[in-house]
Amino acid sequence: MKRIIAPILLLIALAGGWYAWKTHSAESRKDSPAFHGNIDIREVRLGFRVSGRVREILKEEGDAVTPGEILARLDDEPFRNALDQAEAQVGQFSARLEELRNGNRPEEIEQARKILAASEAALENSRLVFERQQRLVGQGAVARQDFDTASTAYRASLARRDEARARLDLLEAGTRAEQLAQAEAVLGTARAALAQARTTLADTVLSAPEAGVVLTRSVEPGSMVQAGATALTVSLLNPVRVRAYAPEPLLGLVRPGREVLVYTDSRPEPYHGQVGDVSPRAEFTPKSVETEELRTSLVYRFRVVVRDDDGLLRQGMPVTVRLKD
């Protein structure tokens, strides 16, 4: 008989303790102030940064996505062609700059020296003819026209010699600094265009910034889209927040860091959260907060970050926030 009585007494004690805890919890919940609000989950409207034709959409509405996962692609053939052209221009201007830095080839300088030597020899010959004609014309041995012809030939030879010497000096001096600066600037412009072409090609791929769930799918393969147009809307999984409102008399109870309990109509157990921030401005209670005493009151908005979300909280869901202690 004693063996039977002991378990019965233990069960009675446990039942009494559970009833007392439930009664105290219910009374505490009833006595603690309630703040009404809605679930506020961030949404991201994703779109391409470039215009083009949609090649494929990899996700449907309701599909889960992970950070960095590819969601959609544009037809990238025009962008690849632009990238190839930019790479070719960089190669062309790089070769030109390298040519200017290396200067003139030794063969070109040697050729200029030989041209100068030949022009000096021709000048010497025309000088001798000119001087001989000059002596003879003074003696009346040659015609004045022959002297004029020799004089013209001498001056022409002198000009050709000076031109050949200037050409050799220019080759030996090498490339001017201004030419190098110009070539470097042109190459820099080509490299910037190449970087832009690579960025544009990368922008034909649409990826998920964070983990979430696809809410809407706005385009289909084959559609032409403009830059910035929304292709997919993704609801982010974290953080899950509550946008609630507190009247001015209770504002002192709501402070950043305060632990709170978040109650919904979908499950009996509350969620646990923490007050994140409190708005410094008063505002009229939105119509979504359906409480008679707060419908026309001025309240202060505050946000609660839910720590133990189980995936059942949805955007706009009405909730009741109560202080934990």
3 pLDDT band, cuts 50/70/90, is low
The residue ranges of every structural domain in the chain are 31-41+239-323, 45-75+202-233, 83-199
Residue 143 per-residue DSSP state: -
Q: Which of 270, 303, 292, 245 is nearest to 34 (CA)?
A: 245
Residue 179 has phi, psi (to 5 degrees) of -65, -40
**pLDDT tens for residues 283-313?**
877 766 655 555 557 889 999 999 988 878 8
The set of residues, in sequence order, having a beta carbon less than 8 Å from that of 48 and lying 6+ positions away, is 72, 74, 203, 204, 206, 225, 227, 228, 229, 231
Q: Looking up tokens 């679930």, which residue turns up?
A: 39
Quick count: other Cβ atoms within 10 Å of Cβ 109?
A: 14
Residue 27: its pLDDT value, please? 45
Enclosing H/E stretch for 206: strand 205-207
Q: What is the mean pLDDT of residues 131-146?
A: 75
Q: What is the mean pLDDT of residues 205-225?
A: 94
Equal fold, 31-41+239-323 vs 45-75+202-233 = no
CATH code for the structural domain at 31-41+239-323: 2.40.30.170
Q: Among the ranges 37-41, 121-125, 131-135, which has the highest mean pLDDT value?
A: 37-41
Class of domain 45-75+202-233: mainly beta
108 pLDDT band, cuts 50/70/90, is confident
* Whole-number Å distance between alpha carbons of 310 and 267: 11
pLDDT higher than 60, residue 110: yes
Calculate the CA dihedral of residues 15, 17, 22, 28 and round it to 10 degrees: 170
